[in-house]
């Protein structure tokens, strides 16, 4: 779903691509998403394009599982659509759909608010598909047997990291990921800074950790585009900016905007800075096994700073 945008009026580029000799043996099965739910087969001339406008089971090979294609239908849930076809469900089947998986894991959709054609965790448990492959969320995710493929090309800075697509092996339903070579790779990071005695070494180490996590090759670095949001307190805002830019030497900031220090305040109180250092040491000891991811520890630290350093 959402292969095209709602504003698209001409599909000739994709149509001509599918008609090229090197792609003519590939069959394209397309379901509408909430951004292109009006697309129709009549808009295409290529014989290898099939637009699935209504829920449909497809079996490609005799030994393969059934593939249940569920296009986006406004005002409907995937669960209620599956319920209408439950008598036809084979033992092994794969759900292909477009919408929000309500798994209990919260993910902020940066493009649109609201819930679109939801699929509940209870639907998965009751109807028991072997695999679920969904579009709609642009971030690549795997939640149990549910896979969001993510966008193969980042639309903006919010679609961070290498882009990819997935290949499903119909024999054992294993998934392989293939990286897409793109002009740019976006990274969107947040950093909490502390006015400690080693604040700038701390910043350098944190930036080094970001770069190590990205694991970019030398050829990928020129295409990296970075957005950095900095929060917290510093003893020297100008020096902080210099250290940040030096730490990202060789990298390019998104739209040349530089690090965002709009939520960084100045602070010089040795007694309370000492308290901050001790609190940070305690927070660093929190275990990820107990649910304290690095993002959660950063949030705890940010809230602690607000209490300790508030004027």
- Both tokens of 205, joined, read 């180490």
Edge-to-edge strand order for the sheet containing 93-98? Answer: 56-58, 66-69, 93-98, 131-135, 146-148, 141-143
- Checking if the pLDDT of 154 tops 80, the result is no
- Select from 3.60.21.10, 1.10.260.40, 3.40.50.11310, 3.90.180.10 the CATH code of 54-180: 3.60.21.10
Q: What is the pLDDT of residue 104?
A: 55
Query: In the chain, how many H helices and how many E strands?
Result: 7, 16
> In Å, how far are 29, 192, 233, 305 from 202, measured between CA atoms?
51, 10, 13, 16
| Residues 208/230, Cβ–Cβ less than 8 Å | no
Distance CA 279, CA 66 (A): 55
Residue 44 predicted with pLDDT over 60? yes
Task: Pick the most confident of 5-14, 151-160, 182-191, 281-290.
Answer: 182-191
CA R_g for the chain: 24
63-117 per-position pLDDT tens digit: 678 899 999 888 889 899 999 998 888 888 999 998 888 875 555 555 555 687 8
Query: pLDDT band at 135, cuts 50/70/90?
Result: confident
Ranges assigned E (strand) in the chain: 28-30, 49-51, 56-58, 66-69, 93-98, 101-102, 119-120, 131-135, 141-143, 146-148, 163-168, 175-180, 185-193, 224-234, 252-253, 260-266
Q: Is 180 a residue whose pLDDT tops 70?
A: yes
Average pLDDT over residues 179-187: 90
**pLDDT band at residue 136 under the 50/70/90 scheme:** confident
pLDDT for position 105: 54
> What are the residue boundaries of the structural domains of the chain, listed by start?
54-180, 185-308
């Amino acid at each position: 779903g959402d292969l095209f945008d709602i504003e698209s009026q001409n599909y000739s580029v994709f149509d001509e691509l599918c008609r090229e000799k090197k792609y003519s043996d590939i069959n394209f099965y397309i379901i509408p998403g909430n951004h292109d739910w009006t697309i129709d087969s009549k808009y295409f001339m290529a014989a290898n394009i099939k637009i699935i406008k209504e829920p449909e089971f497809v079996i490609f090979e005799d030994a393969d599982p059934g593939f249940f294609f569920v296009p986006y239908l406004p005002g409907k849930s995937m669960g209620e659509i599956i319920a209408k076809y439950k008598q036809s469900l084979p033992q092994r089947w794969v759900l292909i759909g477009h919408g929000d998986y309500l798994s209990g894991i919260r993910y902020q959709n940066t493009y649109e608010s609201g819930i679109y054609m939801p699929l509940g965790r209870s639907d998965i448990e009751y109807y028991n598909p072997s695999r679920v492959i969904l579009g709609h969320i642009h971030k690549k995710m795997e939640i149990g047997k549910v896979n969001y493929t993510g966008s193969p090309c980042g639309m903006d800075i919010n679609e961070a990291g290498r882009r990819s697509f997935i290949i499903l092996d119909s024999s054992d339903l294993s998934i392989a990921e293939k990286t897409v070579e793109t002009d740019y790779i976006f990274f969107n990071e947040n950093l909490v800074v502390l006015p400690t005695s080693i604040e700038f070494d701390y910043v350098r180490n944190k930036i080094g950790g970001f770069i190590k996590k990205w694991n970019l090759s030398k050829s990928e670095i020129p295409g990296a585009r970075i957005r950095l949001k900095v929060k917290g307190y510093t003893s020297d805002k100008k020096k902080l900016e210099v250290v940040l830019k030096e730490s990202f030497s060789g990298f390019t900031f998104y739209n040349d905007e530089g690090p965002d220090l709009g939520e960084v305040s100045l602070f010089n109180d040795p007694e309370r800075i000492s308290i901050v250092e001790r609190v940070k040491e305690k927070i660093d000891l929190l275990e990820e096994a107990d649910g304290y991811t690095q993002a959660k520890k950063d949030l705890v630290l940010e809230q602690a700073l607000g209490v300790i350093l508030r004027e």
